[in-house]
Structure 1
């Protein structure tokens, strides 16, 4: 199945062994993120939620 990343637009071919294959097969309109964009989103979320250092 050919899918396109919702963030970067990169096209990928995924097989039935891929973790999102069943979700995308049932609903082709669901959002897909490539591994690189998913890692960046997770990193950004962790950085955003870190406690802020006090100015002092």
Structure 2
């Protein structure tokens, strides 16, 4: 399984989440979304995969 994190290194919650993933023994794919924002199509795919509506986020 590949873990992907959309990461903001200036955000404490994001840093903590990344640390927890790494402490579990996994090395995630890290995407700094402020430098490399996802396309609209990618966002639609991610929301569909979560089975949620955007307002539920």
- Relative to the length of structure 2, the TM-score reads 0.29
More helix by share: 2
More relative contact order, 1 or 2 (CA 8 Å, 6+ apart): 2
Larger Cα-atom Rg: 1
- Relative to the length of structure 1, the TM-score reads 0.30
